[in-house]
Chains A and B, each alone.
Chain A
């Protein structure tokens, strides 16, 4: 792990406002997931799957903070945090859940796979690992066009066992693509521990086999994640090619909201919850005098206010139409 000495440096190099922004994003992700969980447990008929990122919010907050807004990100299956960090309007997300107008894909595609061009979020499918190879193609295009942009391909520990991973990482390595491959290692794939599906302790060890730099980072430490991603971004942008970053943390909930979360014991889950990315950054900031207790409460209140306002707005939108003529639009599968 490389984060141990990193935090102090990172803190000194990051201004207070930027850290406050990171904390606000962590809290927004947490509160957004908790709201989805609440709606689900209340029996609200939500459309789609909800792969919550409770406990692993720093994966996406740190990663998004480590690159430029103009850089492109292909989120993992558990990547709603990328949408929130990159400012995808939350009312459009709720509209997707509630099958309303203004849904991010117009009801055409799963909300957690939908491209959002304005936010430089790339499309993906449910075929785990496929996003990595298409992200490689986007990176290839940036290199050919000399756009100066880099690409981040995020995927879970489970997806790192696919053939796509091998082909995608090797392709990025040999073509020296401006690509950061981020493994969100929450150490469990649906119900199967990464211990049962990989022999290496750190998945970043695999980087050596492809001849690219690899690093494992404490995935609860937002600033360490940001720092590692920023270093990889600088390397990619200056022609140094691809980097593999493994972020380690635990997801606290089940695979999705439908999963009763019985793969880990209550004791194990309790231990995981003690390593909270929000508590970690909050503690750092308080210790440095960058945050007071009341500040934190204000952040939480503001996040909840925004989320509820977005949900309320979405509920005011018309339902997706079920009328004559709609099929014509859905049959439009070809660009002219």
Chain B
């Protein structure tokens, strides 16, 4: 398959453009998604190509936007909503959680809401407002699907799959990744929702990552290679449905598990992954470790926010602990 080099942002645009070109029922709704091209530039060019009836600028009204998407979705359209940034999605939470997620259940399959909410998530990281990740909140809800692409190729493939999915899907796009360049398959490209990706194979320890956590894991793998530790990295890609078999298979091989993600660990992504792996019957050779945002709020200071967010120091400490190595002075504490 031929590929093109493009940014994460351009990969998202490519997915939307191709789906819109193929299917007139796909529309985009959001604040500044039209001529402005979206809060992160992900809808650039789509207004010019598809016009104001399909790329719809809205008032700053998240409840109305998400509600309009839900209503349009039950009426045969496939709306893609842009969430302006991070925590703003809380204004859409009622429609997603109380309306859209329940439709298939409550109508016994007669209705469903094939809508997508996508947008920036997580930290830059430079502190300040809007930089929490609330992905785990939505992954808690039956009836919703939740994905977090970590590469340009997955951004294209997962968003395209989300648009084609007959259920409400939330796509969390880590804010730090929009400028990331990568090889992206040309033409139609779909990444199945609910399939994890083994990024690199290893034999000693599995690091499962989501979003930024995948990149932290890949960097750790390079650092530990020379120290004789073989790290396997798994990108969950989908928070819900979670691909437990792929993760469990990896952990069964390595016997050690670290999970890295933005967002709090309590009742969070890593808690769910570790519980699922343990429930699947895999025997661990060392206690698993969760690495997420420290159990406090993100400070405005860049220096302080780097301390609170997951980073290389804590990943190294986790690997050292799982491997029984004393050669790391790193601390597990945030």
Give complex CA distance A334, B56 in Å: 28
Asked, given contacts A168-B64, A170-B59, whether A137 binds B69 with beta carbons under 8 Å apart, the answer is: yes
Question: Which residue of chain A lies nearest to B241 when distances are taken between CB atoms in the complex?
Answer: A334
Closest CB of chain A to B111's CB: distance in Å?
6
Q: Does B67 contact A130, Cβ atoms closer than 8 Å? A: yes
A167 within 8 A of B: yes
Q: Does A171 contact B105, Cβ atoms closer than 8 Å? A: no
A108 within 8 A of B: yes
Asked, given contacts A125-B102, A144-B53, whether A117 binds B110 with beta carbons under 8 Å apart, the answer is: yes
Closest CB of chain A to B254's CB: distance in Å?
31
Q: Does B71 contact A141, Cβ atoms closer than 8 Å? A: yes
Q: How many chain-A residues does the 8 Å CB contact rule pick out?
A: 43
Q: Which of A115, A130, A164, A333 has the most CB of B within 10 A?
A: A333
A265 within 8 A of B: no
Report A120-164 CB contacts with B as 1/0, cut-off 8 Å.
Answer: 001111110010111111111110110000000000000000011
Asked, given contacts A106-B108, A108-B106, A141-B76, whether A136 binds B166 with beta carbons under 8 Å apart, the answer is: no
Partner of A123, one of B53, B66, B74, B167: B74
Report B46-68 CB contacts with A as 1/0, cut-off 8 Å.
Answer: 00000001101011011111111
B101 within 8 A of A: yes
Closest CB of chain A to B103's CB: distance in Å?
6
Q: Does B64 contact A167, Cβ atoms closer than 8 Å? A: yes
B208 within 8 A of A: no
Report A299-336 CB contacts with B as 1/0, cut-off 8 Å.
Answer: 00000000000000000000000000000001111111
B127 within 8 A of A: no
Give complex CA distance A174, B98 in Å: 26
Closest CB of chain B to A312's CB: distance in Å?
25
B103-146 contacts to A, CB under 8 A, are: 103-112, 114, 142-143, 145
A105 within 8 A of B: yes
Partner of A137, one of B54, B73, B103, B107: B73
**Within 8 Å CB of A114, what residues of B?**
106-107
Q: Does A332 contact B59, Cβ atoms closer than 8 Å? A: no
**Within 8 Å CB of B111, what residues of A?**
115, 117, 123
Majority SS at the chain A contact face:
helix
Give complex CA distance A333, B112 in Å: 10
Q: Does A136 contact B71, Cβ atoms closer than 8 Å? A: yes
Q: Number of contact residues on B: which range applies?
A: 35 or more
B334 within 8 A of A: no
B282 within 8 A of A: no
Report A260-289 CB contacts with B as 1/0, cut-off 8 Å.
Answer: 000000000000000000000000000000
Question: Which residue of chain A lies nearest to B142 when distances are taken between CB atoms in the complex?
Answer: A333
Give complex CA distance A270, B56 in Å: 51
B95 within 8 A of A: yes
Closest CB of chain B to A179's CB: distance in Å?
10
Q: Does B59 contact A137, Cβ atoms closer than 8 Å? A: no
**Within 8 Å CB of A296, what residues of B?**
none
**Within 8 Å CB of A140, what residues of B?**
68, 71-72
Give complex CA distance A135, B66 in Å: 11
Closest CB of chain A to B214's CB: distance in Å?
25
Partner of A127, one of B62, B98, B166, B167: B98
**Within 8 Å CB of A336, what residues of B?**
166
Asked, given contacts A105-B108, A123-B103, A123-B111, whether A133 binds B75 with beta carbons under 8 Å apart, the answer is: no
Closest CB of chain B to A242's CB: distance in Å?
12
Q: Does A145 contact B76, Cβ atoms closer than 8 Å? A: yes
Give complex CA distance A175, B61 in Å: 13
Closest CB of chain A to B119's CB: distance in Å?
18
Give complex CA distance A336, B193 in Å: 12
Closest CB of chain B to A149's CB: distance in Å?
9
Give complex CA distance A174, B52 in Å: 13
Q: Does A137 contact B70, Cβ atoms closer than 8 Å? A: yes
Give complex CA distance A315, B174 in Å: 55
Closest CB of chain B to A248's CB: distance in Å?
26
Q: Which of A113, A133, A138, A140 has the most CB of B within 10 A?
A: A133
**Within 8 Å CB of B110, what residues of A?**
115, 117
Give complex CA distance A206, B54 in Å: 30
**Within 8 Å CB of B54, what residues of A?**
144
Q: Does B106 contact A105, Cβ atoms closer than 8 Å? A: yes
Closest CB of chain A to B84's CB: distance in Å?
14
**Within 8 Å CB of B95, what residues of A?**
130, 133-134
Give complex CA distance A334, B167 in Å: 6
Q: Does A333 contact B101, Cβ atoms closer than 8 Å? A: yes
Asked, given contacts A334-B167, A335-B104, whether A138 binds B59 with beta carbons under 8 Å apart, the answer is: no
Give complex CA distance A168, B79 in Å: 17
Q: Does A145 contact B59, Cβ atoms closer than 8 Å? A: no
Partner of B61, one of A123, A135, A139, A167: A167
Give complex CA distance A138, B98 in Å: 17
Closest CB of chain B to A148's CB: distance in Å?
13
Partner of A167, one of B27, B63, B103, B106: B63
B222 within 8 A of A: no
Partner of A335, one of B63, B77, B109: B109
Interface residues of A (CB under 8 A from B): 105-106, 108-109, 113-115, 117, 122-127, 130, 132-142, 144-145, 163-164, 167-168, 170-171, 174-175, 330-336
Interface residues of B (CB under 8 A from A): 27, 53-54, 56, 58-59, 61-77, 79, 94-95, 98-99, 101-112, 114, 142-143, 145, 166-167
11 inter-chain pairs at a CB distance below 8 angstroms, sorted by A residue, are A114-B107, A117-B111, A126-B98, A127-B99, A133-B67, A134-B74, A134-B99, A171-B68, A332-B104, A332-B105, A335-B167
Known: A171-B68, A334-B143. 13 other contacts (CB 8 A): A109-B102, A109-B107, A137-B70, A140-B68, A140-B71, A141-B77, A144-B77, A145-B77, A163-B63, A171-B59, A332-B104, A333-B105, A335-B167
